[in-house]
Amino acid sequence: MGAVGIAAVSIGYNLTHAPEETKAPVLPSPLTNEGPSDPEAAILALQDRVGANPNDAEGWQRLGWAYFESGRHADAVRAYRHATKLAPGNATFWSSLGEAAVMASERDPMPKEAADAFDKAISLDPKDPRARYFLAVRKDLAKDHEGAIRDWLALLGDTPPGAPWEADLRRTIEQVGKINGINVAERLAAVKPTAPHPPMGAGMSVAAAAIPGPSREQMQAAAQLPKGQQDAMVEGMVASLEARLKANPGNVDGWIMLMRSRMTLGETGKATAAYAQARSANPAQAGRIRDEARILGVPGV
């Protein structure tokens, strides 16, 4: 994935194997705006990376994501299994494994491995939005439609204003309510944003918007670089952003960009550290920083 990976963060998935009434909302996923010029080359580079260092949890996570985005869900499951074995305390890795297992299943909309992975993610981080969503799906599949709606409403109540999955989550609640004769209009209307902040650009938060990154030409060139040079290019861009923030710690948008870059690279511990530094440097905007970090899935937020 190399330098391609930190160009931007966009939106993730749809649960296409579930019944129509349980389509999943889109959740944060480290995609690029234009995508790598050669996905197979990126996968091969990541395969080489984990082949050279089988204990590289972040490498396995990134390989799992690359497989997932290429539609190779069974391969994504295998890669995420390695990631969770190497970093069993990472909730995002577990919920990613669960999502991949759901997508890889042709018949069972909630295979046991997926359910177990979501349970594990929730035990590590009760706020993990992907795990919370899919565990509500499990209730819906078990005919506990009211329980599913209640859990989705709770998730919606905790969803930061402007989160990229907010509209789809509301739509899911409306659809399940309509199909099962459950009136959800008043309950949906009662869920108000808890910590609004001014929208960025065309209504997008910084967390969901593109960050300054390499051009298409630079990404294409980076895909041809050896793995070590790709990593050096990525680390150089992130290090440059980090240096600018040390000189100007009041740049909240910059801190959010740094958190997103770290999450995209699978460097969840560094993302959490950036979150703590951002809040410490900007106590007056702590609420906004927290909301953006939740959108990104930063652990511990």
Looking at residue 17, its pLDDT comes to 34
Beta strand pairing call for 28-29 and 10-11: antiparallel
What gap in Å lies between CA 26 and CA 295, rounded to an integer? 11
Answer whether residue 127 shows pLDDT above 70.
yes
- Identify which of 216, 52, 1, 23 has the alpha carbon closest to the alpha carbon of residue 136: 23
CA 201 – CA 198 distance, rounded (Å): 10
212, pLDDT greater than 60? no
What pLDDT is recorded for position 233? 61
Q: What is the DSSP letter of 5?
A: G
**Band of pLDDT at residue 97, cut at 50, 70 and 90:** very high
pTM for the model: 0.59
Angle at 164 between CA 23 and CA 31, to 5 degrees: 90
Residue type for 150, please?
R
Structural domains of the chain, ranges and CATH numbers in brackets = 217-296 (1.25.40)
What is the full DSSP assignment across 201-262? TTTB-GGGS--S---HHHHHHHHTS-HHHHHHHHHHHHHHHHHHHHH-TT-HHHHHHHHHHH
Per-residue pLDDT of 181-210, as tens digits, reads 999 999 999 986 544 433 333 334 444 443
pLDDT at 224: 54
- pLDDT tens readout for residues 134-167: 999 999 999 999 999 999 999 998 887 667 778 8
